[in-house]
Amino acid sequence: MPSEPTAGPLIIQSDRTLLLDVDHPDGAACRADIAPFAELERSPEHIHTYRLTPLGLWNASAAGHDAEQVVDALLRWSRYPVPQALLIDVADLMSRYGRLVLDVDPVHGLVLRGTDRAVLEEVARAKAVVPLLGPRIGPDTFGVARGERGRLKQALLKVGWPADDRAGYVDGTAHPIALRADAGFQLRPYQVEAVDAFVAAGSGVIVLPCGAGKTLVGLAAMARAGARTLILVTNIVAARQWQAELLARTTLTEAEVGEYSGERKEIRPVTLATYQIITTRRGGLYPHLELLSAEDWGLVVYDEVHLLPAPVFRMAADIQSRRRLGLTATLVREDGRAGDVFSLIGPKRYDAPWRDIEAQGWIAPARCVEVRVTLADEERMAYALAEPEERYRVGATARSKLAVVEVLCQEAVRRGEPTLVIGQYLDQLDQLAERLGAPVLNGKTPTHEREKQYEAFRRGIEPVLVVSKVANFSIDLPEASVAIQVSGTFGSRQEEAQRLGRILRPKADGRQAHFFTVVARDTNDQEFAARRQRFLAEQGYAYEIVDAEAVLQSAAAARAAAADSTATGLAATAADTELAAGPRALPGARPELPPAADDPGV
């Protein structure tokens, strides 16, 4: 135990942030100790910031950690004396979880039991809780109507006394599902751990970075549940993706997998539904939501749980007796409803930091580059004169960007990197598509056309794909290794992370992925870009900044040199523009990519 004041790797601030020096020899051990209860806020290169929050501590309580362990870990690793008040607070907060228990009584059904009568009395008087409690059964017990299970948990969390839900789950209609042994893949160790953690708890959220194979965790969980399953996904493309995965990797047949969307309304043992369809309202009702809720599901999977819309929360509150699995890359919700995820979907059951998985080689290492384009004078004038609400569009869609994007694409194609060009504005995308001679996909593209293009891209027939924000979520483009972002939804940090996730699937040859953001200098495009990058910078992705002039010049130089020798010219380009993927720059274009390899990261 370190006793010298300068020994520990952890600095505990009085505002409840924990600063972890990752370069410290004890850094890794300390991280392992504090990760279960502290929420990772930022993980840049040297010092990671964790925060002690009530939700984080309750997550730890739910996972079986006790206050003594937490206090002990803080005291053991802290470099400086730990504020006494903070320790007392931690102990106090953690002891709150579990003093109220939702349980099943053989006689009275669902009951709320208090191990501490004072607490029970307190919550029984809270305005938000009273209407959800049934008759008092004993001094320490209240009856609870089955339908109020979720809402009661929500209300209890709000008043600061989260209930431990031990009321168990119904198994739903059994339906055997198994992972196919012949599909040529194996679950990665962390995926197995995640599934085990989920199955042990019955419901909860698994946090894995984009590209770490969340879908597969979902499939494995379904196999373990062996029951009718409802999978809620963000959009129809993601639904098709899931469907393909289900058919490829499990024993399910097409007849067993249904799609419930705007196009088709199939309810089968495994049903995929989009958030959009179940939140469709007709006459003040959610007809689809009610229809689906009525089924006897044994498991409900929520893909991208951080995007869960409010009506789905309501449904989740109604089906508390079903097992629920939330999958996400981040628990950061931009609407601040993290508490609802905790009480309605369940506590966090498993969490693997992005960088750890990358270090283990499960996701591709990525390099992020911000390319700054200086606008032409007339563009600057147009920007200066634009209406305030139009400014971002004017800056982000500046024509000066096109040349840079073109050069980057050419370079990528020459090196055989499948490339995605992602943007927000359709005009801009059309211009780009025309200039690059690449197909463009947007929200209006019919689904079959979209899938055709994806397939062509997967096979390497189309080296470049220009996509709108339809590509933000849940499409699977295994071999995309370069993404060029030309515009985005203002400062959305989440979108940035999702887009980076597009290229993080591990590559067959282990090469590095590149993420370029093309930004117009001295416009609010640059400000929004900085805001978008903050999340990734906090996650440890350092953005390099490159001037567009440098890119264009070196490309010109490369073209000149290419006349002499292709290989040396490329090397020069790589060196000049810092496009090189470390030491192994790939010379020459690859003839054609092999068909999508079976990658366990899907």
Partner 1 sequence: MARTMSVRSRGGEEHPLLEVLRRLDESGLAALLEARPDLLEPPPHTLPELAARALAPASVEICRHALDHGARQVLEALCLLPSPTTLGALIDLLRIDDLEAAADLADVTGRLCERALVARHGDRLQLLVRPEVPHPAGLGPPVRVALASQPAAVLEACADRLGVGGGATKAATLANIGKALATPGLLIDLLTEAPEGAAEVAASLAFGGPEGRAAGALYAAARSDHTPIGWLLSRGVLAPISWDSVVLVGEAGLALRGGRAFPDLALRAPEFSLQPVDAAAADRAAAERALRLVADITTILDRWAADAPKQLKAGGLGVQVVRRAAKVIDRAEVETARVVELAVAAGLVSIDAKSDSALPLPAYDQWSDLDVAGRWAHLVGAWLRWDLHLCLAGAVDTKRKPIPPMLVRAHESRAVARRRRVLETLAEIPPGHSVTVESLFGRATWDRPGLWASGLTSGEGLVTWSLLECELLGLTGLGGLSTWGRLVATGDIEGARAALDRLVPAATSQFVVQADLTALAPAELVRPVQAELESMADLESRGAAVLFRFTEASVRRCFEAGRTGADILAFLDAHAAKGVPQALRYLVNDVARRFGQVRVVATRCCLRSDDQALLAEVVASRAAARLGLRLLAPTVAAASADPPTVLAALRDAGYAPAEEGADGALVLRRPPRRRAVPDRRLAALTGRPSNVDAAFGPVGDPFAAGTAAAVGPAAAKAGAGPDYAATAARLLRTEAPAPKPPAPKPPAPKTPAVELPLPASVTRGMPPPVASAFDLSPAGGRPERIARDPAAVADLLQRALVEGWPVRMAYTNKKGNSTQLNAAVLDVGRREVIVELLSGWESRVLALSRVSWVRVLTEAEEDSL
Interior/surface letters 176-213, b for 16+ CB within 10 angstroms, e for the rest: ebebeeeeebebbebbebbbebbeebbbbbbbbbbbbb
Residue 6-45 contact track with partner 1, rule CB under 8 A, x = bound: x----xxxxx-x-x-x-x------------------x-xx
Provide the minimum distance between the beta carbon of 593 and partner 1 in the complex, in angstroms, as a whole number.
33
Q: Which amino acid is residue 390, in one-letter code?
A: E
Dist CA 434 CA 432 (whole Å) = 5
Provide the minimum distance between the beta carbon of 495 and partner 1 in the complex, in angstroms, as a whole number.
18
Q: Give 477's Cβ-side CA count (13 Å radius).
A: 36
Residue 534, interface with partner 1 (CB under 8 A)?
yes
State phi, psi for 509 to the nearest 5 degrees: -100, 15
Please, which residue, 84 or 253, has the CB nearer to partner 1? 84
Q: Which stretch binds partner 1 (CB under 8 A): 52-60, 256-264, 538-546, 584-592?
A: 538-546
Dist CA 500 CA 483 (whole Å) = 8
Residue 136, interface with partner 1 (CB under 8 A)?
no
Provide the minimum distance between the beta carbon of 278 and partner 1 in the complex, in angstroms, as a whole number.
37
Residue 200, interface with partner 1 (CB under 8 A)?
no
Residue 64, interface with partner 1 (CB under 8 A)?
no
Please, which residue, 23 or 592, has the CB nearer to partner 1? 23
Please, which residue, 23 or 598, has the CB nearer to partner 1? 23
Residue 481-520 contact track with partner 1, rule CB under 8 A, x = bound: ----------------------------------------
Report whether 495 contacts 469 (CB < 8 A). Answer: yes
State phi, psi for 497 to the nearest 5 degrees: -65, -40
Residue 365, interface with partner 1 (CB under 8 A)?
no
Provide the minimum distance between the beta carbon of 549 and partner 1 in the complex, in angstroms, as a whole number.
14
Q: Which stretch binds partner 1 (CB under 8 A): 76-84, 230-238, 343-351, 561-569?
A: 76-84
Residue 381, interface with partner 1 (CB under 8 A)?
no
Q: Which stretch binds partner 1 (CB under 8 A): 78-86, 111-119, 326-334, 559-567?
A: 78-86
Residue 253, interface with partner 1 (CB under 8 A)?
no
- Residue from 46, 117, 125, 166 touching partner 1 (CB under 8 A): that is 46
Please, which residue, 31 or 188, has the CB nearer to partner 1? 31
Give the Å distances, CA to CA, from 384 to 181, 377, 393, 418, 526. 61, 10, 12, 36, 15
Segment 211 to 240, residues that bind partner 1, using CB under 8 A: none
Residue 79, interface with partner 1 (CB under 8 A)?
yes
Long-range own/partner contacts, residues 397-401 (CB < 8 A, 24 or more apart)? 397/425, 397/427, 397/428, 397/486, 397/487, 398/373, 398/520, 398/523, 399/431, 400/373, 400/374, 400/375, 400/376, 400/520, 400/548, 401/373, 401/428, 401/486, 401/518, 401/520
CA pseudo-torsion sign 562, 566, 570, 576 = negative
Report whether 551 contacts 545 (CB < 8 A). Answer: no
Provide the minimum distance between the beta carbon of 45 and partner 1 in the complex, in angstroms, as a whole number.
6
Q: Is 490 left (phi over 0), alpha (psi -120 to 50) or beta?
A: left
Dist CA 458 CA 476 (whole Å) = 9
Please, which residue, 538 or 599, has the CB nearer to partner 1? 538
Dist CA 102 CA 106 (whole Å) = 13
- Residue from 178, 183, 359, 545 touching partner 1 (CB under 8 A): that is 545
- Residue from 32, 80, 104, 266 touching partner 1 (CB under 8 A): that is 80
Residues 6+ apart with CB under 8 A from 515: 366, 367, 368, 369, 482, 483, 485, 499, 500, 503
Please, which residue, 73 or 144, has the CB nearer to partner 1? 73
State phi, psi for 168 to the nearest 5 degrees: 75, -175
Dist CA 217 CA 223 (whole Å) = 10
Please, which residue, 71 or 124, has the CB nearer to partner 1? 71
Provide the minimum distance between the beta carbon of 17 and partner 1 in the complex, in angstroms, as a whole number.
6
Binding residues for partner 1, rule CB under 8 A, total: 33
The DSSP secondary structure of 543-558, one letter per residue, reads EEEEEHHHHHHHHHHH
Q: Which stretch binds partner 1 (CB under 8 A): 166-174, 349-357, 457-465, 534-542?
A: 534-542
Residue 3, interface with partner 1 (CB under 8 A)?
yes
Please, which residue, 122 or 527, has the CB nearer to partner 1? 527
Interacting residue ranges for partner 1, rule: CB under 8 A: 3, 5-6, 11-15, 17, 19, 21, 23, 42, 44-47, 79-84, 522, 527, 534, 537-538, 541-545
